[in-house]
Amino acid sequence: RGDPVFYTWHSGVKFVWSGGVNPAASLTVSPHRLQHFSTESLSLICEGNSTEWRVKKADEYGDVSPCYYWGEMTGSTCNTNTRASSGVYWCESETQSSNAANITIHSVPHPVLTVSPSWTSPGDSVTLTCSVGPPSAGWRFFWYKAVPDMSDYYTYELLAGGTTGTEQDSYILHGQTHTAGYVCRARRGDPVFYTLYSDVKFVWSGGVNPAASFTVSPHRLQHFSIESLSLICEGNSAEWRVMKVDEDGDVSTCSDWGEMTGSTCNTNTTASSGVYWCESETQSSNAANITIHSEFIFI
């Protein structure tokens, strides 16, 4: 405006994208599927009537960046790395612009495992169900037993017949007899993509296990927060630990709320309600659901 003339800055670049086919320039995303995850590499492939291409992205804030910010351009293909994020992607040359693809890149899925029933009698069947989603279609599911590791928490051991996974999101354990923990994960695609492992979920047995037993002293129906309990492990192992799962499903060991001396855990006043049991690298005991009450005040 004005005389002398005054100009504003140029506006930021805004794009009108087409998802339709452009015979002169095309963008192909490989692997071609509905969901992409942050640990995967994508190949963004430019084809058309140009000798030099670049791949661009506009993120959710409207910021535009070229391939080398979040990948590597080799010829007419951009291979992304783990810095890639959701946005609209397209190819362009000095004379052509391709169709665009609105790609959403998700965090790596963390499956949720459920067990039913969680308390068993000897010989019961237990159903493990692994959920990934949404959507859950297209996954193969893998099932593991959580094996106690005294230097850590657990290592994972594939269940029998589980090397190729299952198309079904459930797995039945027949003749469950003892307390045990389980996890699941899933995979799909080519190249293969794996989810994270689920949290460990436990199947507890209140029945007697001749190889491993758990006793609570004093043995009574009510326990209070000002008391110390002795949680005693007995069986065919040289080293034991006492475990607890609280009301929120969090797993902890005796050292978090007591003191382990030999095969006995003596709790302190930070102990709380939960399911308690003993385990070694080869054995797991019966479990006990212990409720710890606040102290009574008598007037």
State whether 244 and 184 are in the same domain.
no
Is residue 6 in some structural domain?
A: no
Compute the distance between CA of residue 223 and CA of residue 272 in angstroms, rounded to an integer.
10
Among candidate residues 84, 106, 128, the one where a domain is terminated: 106
Q: Both tokens of residue 94?
A: 């000095």
197 and 219 in a single domain? The answer is no
- Does one domain contain both 124 and 199? yes
85 CB-contact burial (10 Å; exposed 0-12 / middle 13-18 / buried 19+): middle
Six token digits for residue 71: 């990948």
**Residues 48 and 73 grouped into a single domain:** yes
The per-residue pLDDT for 112 is 95
Using the predicted structure, report yes or no on whether residue 299 has a pLDDT greater than 60.
Answer: no
CATH number of the domain residue 64 falls in = 2.60.40.10
Structural domain includes residue 41: yes
**Rg from Cα positions in the chain:** 29
**Distance separating the N- and C-terminal Cα atoms of the chain:** 85
In the chain, what percentage of residues exceed pLDDT 90? 58
- Most confident of the ranges 72-81, 161-170, 213-222, 260-269: 72-81
Mean pLDDT of 265-280: 87
Q: Is residue 223 part of a domain?
A: yes
11 found inside a domain = no
Structural domains counted in the chain: 3
Q: Are 149 and 155 in contact (CB under 8 A)?
A: yes
- pLDDT on residue 262: 94
CA distance linking residue 32 with residue 104, whole number of Å: 13
Mean pLDDT, range 278-297, rounded to an integer: 84
Question: Does residue 148 have a cis bond before it (omega within 30 degrees)?
Answer: no
Kindly state whether residues 121 and 193 are assigned to the same domain: yes
- Identify the residue whose tokens are 């027949």: 174
Domain finish residue from 72, 90, 106: 106
Contact status, residue 243 vs residue 253, Cβ threshold 8 Å: yes
- Give the separation between CA 106 and CA 39, rounded to whole angstroms: 9
Mean pLDDT for the stretch of residues 26-43? 86
Stretch 117-123: mean pLDDT = 87
Structure confidence at residue 136 (pLDDT): 60
Give mean pLDDT, residues 67-91.
92
Same domain, 152 and 78: no
The answer on pLDDT for 281 being more than 80 is yes
- Within this chain, do residues 121 and 75 fall inside the same structural domain, yes or no? no
- 205, 227, 250: which is the final residue of a domain? 205
Q: What letter would DSSP give residue 49?
A: S
Can you give the residue range of the structural domain that contains 223? 212-293
What are the angstrom distances between the C-alpha of 290 and each of 65, 118, 244, 271, 273?
57, 16, 10, 10, 6
